[in-house]
Amino acid sequence: MGGDGPWRSGHQAVNWKVRGKVQGVGFRPAAFRLAREWGLDGWVRNTMEGAEGVLSGDPARLNGFFDELKKRLPEVADIQSIVMEKAVGPPPAGFEIRASEKAPGVRTAGILPDLATCPDCLHDIQDPSNRRHRYPFTNCTHCGPRYSILEQLPYDRPNTTMRVFGMCRACKSEYTDPANRRFHAQPNACPQCGPHLTWQTPAGKILAARDEALLAAAHAIREGRIVAVKGIGGFHLMVDARNEEAVQRLRRRKCRERKPFAVLFPSLETIAGECRVSKEEAGWLTSAAAPIVLLCRQDGCGHLSDALAPNLSRLGALLPYSPLHHLLMQELGFPVVATSGNRADEPLCIGNDEALSRLGAIADDFLMHNRPIVRPMDDSVLSVCGKRPIVIRRGRGLAPYSVALGGGRDGTVGAGAELKNTLAVYAGARAVMSPHIGDMDYDGTVRLWHRSLQDMVKIQGMEAAEMVVDSHPMYAVTREAVTMGLRVEKVQHHHAHVAACMAEHGLHGEVLGIAWDGAGWGPDGTIWGGEFLAATRRTFQRVAWLRPFPLVGGDAAMREPRRSAFGVAHVLGGGIPVAGFTKEEQARLQEALRAHLHVAITTSAGRLFDAVASFLGLSPVTAYEGEAAMQLEALADLVEESMPPYSFGWNGRMLDWAPMLLSICTGKESAAAASARFHATLVEMMVAVAKQENLEDICLTGGCFQNHRLLSGACGRLAEEGFRVWTHQNIPANDAGISLGQLAVCFGGADAYGGGGGKAPCRRC
């Protein structure tokens, strides 16, 4: 840290710069208090990159300050680096927090997600003697809204929607008191000066306010009414999860036939009464992120409606994460459905007028508040496989999220995929990933994609410079990106999947990527989805694939497992009955197949799951994407012991599932046993290709690897054979990870090999 300062013998003075997630976590207050404790002079402020300051004092005290600093921050803080150099000029006497830097250029400071209520704030709202007793917008430097209220960096109150609420004298005193945990807490507020609740009819008439509004909402839910509740990142639709009629009424109004509902529980104990909860799952439920966690149902529990997650073995559970939710659940004392405030597949409602307009035909009542929300933040969703998380959707609590990615160009945007879309923006050697946006086959989601793009680049202090898109020519997101007039680079879908897994784990060189999902455009014009790729971040070669089969009916085939079964039966040579069709329908499909009319050829593992589900008597037509595969997994879970695989064949580099499917269709075993053996066979196919290619590192990626049985089986067997297996943990394995993979491919050569963007070496290329 250099020698003695020029102005005081025996002292050192350093400039220090911190990068990472240090805004919105009480970093400056922690530095202030710690400097005072160690008797150091200097200052600290927020910057476009994180934070910076000057420290002066005895060298041993300086070392003590930096050793202790990380320990003083909450777990959600993330110091990525601290750079120090000798200071020039004397620091001020004492230590101060200075106004944030306001400089032009790229802003690379880590953006913090919204954080669940901390124990201290929960105590405040439950303490009758506290001035925030029952105040639903209580927060401090350790909790509360962050990204959902942030309009631009740095994270200061004037740059958030809280700027419209002037702090009262008491709140201002807390905000300026270094000894107070609300010291520089940007959303700080109380009942006298902060946001408040209102209880409204669908016509917008206000019937009650403040605590009376919350009590009215609790009463309405007890009565079986559907209540739209404005939370941190948008609206929830809430109804008593025990009330079968009320849940079914919500399904009809929301146009959500069978897709599972998330359930908000009052406590961890009430969750354990309905679901099995591991230590790791409990840790996620009670974390600052407070996501929805998919949990296995307890046998013999019948307190909740059967309509919550039809024909599935897992239930999405979450705990209260804001003071409003804590207070509401304390009043109710029973689980409620907490599903997104929208019609099926539309973007989440965030504005009061918008909610009245779009949800007026769904909700009976509205619990509103007047704190503006900048952007929609769906709840995050994950499950735990073994002890590792499988993130399915990054939203409130887990987004935005960034991944180190060298060699890129600021302003480059990964446009994402058609389904489960997210964006990724390159800024300061990191790919910053947006929250969940949605499926791009809806006009509202396309508009949200454009707003999200402008939002992401604005926060980072940039403009979009170029776009990286999926190679599928008909994707709406690809068409939208092209219309922007920027330079466009195309990346193959499954290569992006593999590159996303590599980027998440910092892998370089060549890997075997096993990319299994529903659909992705192949360079040969067919629909890929059961792929084995020998890949670097920049290049790939297809080394094996699942046997192709025809899909008749275009997009309809994606929604109807019976059509996948029909295509598989055609490949098997006839004689295999396919349920769910009339004779006339079968004849039309046969004619379309002969004429090759609306027929696509696919290797999709996802569609193979659909076909097997149909053959085993599950839904011939799905109500939501992935339903058949989820039901098939639930069926396999009925068989606890390991099951032997079926046989399968090879034809060149093509893995032939025909022997397995013939056994499934003609065998006498139970559907559960057949499903378990189907999963086991897929695992052995992976092992066979891994042995053939003999690449040490294997990346498992694509939506099929959200399946616990498939993922755990593959990880176990591949590890047994001596391979290093890499799976997604922080980045979704599904198409939400594509935007990161697009950037990783675009900059892959420079990132992995220090070159100038040329192709990375590959043993086959």
The predicted-structure confidence for 161-215, as pLDDT tens digits, reads as follows 999 999 999 999 999 988 899 988 999 999 999 999 999 999 999 999 999 999 9
Q: Of 547 and 50, which is predicted with more confidence?
A: 547
pLDDT at position 749 over 70: no
For the chain, give the percent of residues with pLDDT over 90: 77
Mean pLDDT of 421-441: 94
pLDDT at position 340 over 90: yes
In 205-303, at which residue ranges do the beta strands (DSSP E only) sit?
206-209, 227-230, 235-240, 263-264, 292-296
Mean pLDDT of 209-228: 98
601: tokens are 């050829």
- Which amino acid does the sequence have at 602? T
Mean pLDDT of 22-43: 89
* pLDDT category of residue 3 using cuts at 50, 70 and 90: very low
Which letter does DSSP use for residue 48 in this model?
Answer: S
Nearest to 55 by CA among 67, 68, 41: 41
For residues 151 and 456, the answer to whether their CB atoms sit within 8 Å is no
Which letter does DSSP use for residue 90 in this model?
Answer: P
Q: Of 60 and 532, which is predicted with more confidence?
A: 532
Mean pLDDT of 420-439: 94
> In angstroms, rounded to a whole number, what is the distance separating the alpha carbons of residues 672 and 99?
63
pLDDT at position 755 over 80: no
* pLDDT category of residue 549 using cuts at 50, 70 and 90: very high
pLDDT at position 762 over 60: no
CA angle 580/584/586 to nearest 5° reads: 55
pLDDT at position 91 over 80: no
| Domains of the chain (ranges, CATH numbers) | 12-97 (3.30.70.100), 197-377 (3.90.870.40), 383-503+740-750 (3.30.420.360), 511-731 (3.30.420.40)
For residues 602 and 548, the answer to whether their CB atoms sit within 8 Å is yes
The pLDDT of residue 763 = 38
Give the DSSP per-residue string, 139-157. Answer: -BTTBB-SGGGB-SSS--G
Q: What is the pLDDT of residues 33-88, one digit of tens each?
A: 899 999 999 999 988 888 999 999 988 999 899 899 988 887 778 888 899 898 88
Mean pLDDT of 7-34: 82
The pLDDT of residue 753 = 29
* pLDDT category of residue 343 using cuts at 50, 70 and 90: confident
Instruction: Give the pTM.
Output: 0.93
* pLDDT category of residue 10 using cuts at 50, 70 and 90: low
Mean pLDDT of 326-347: 94
Q: Which residue in the block uniquely carries the two structure tokens 């910057």?
A: 47
For residues 690 and 533, the answer to whether their CB atoms sit within 8 Å is no
Phi-psi region of 26 (alpha: psi -120 to 50; beta: other; left: phi over 0): left
Range picked from 42-56, 293-307, 384-398, 750-764 for highest mean pLDDT? 384-398
The pLDDT of residue 761 = 36
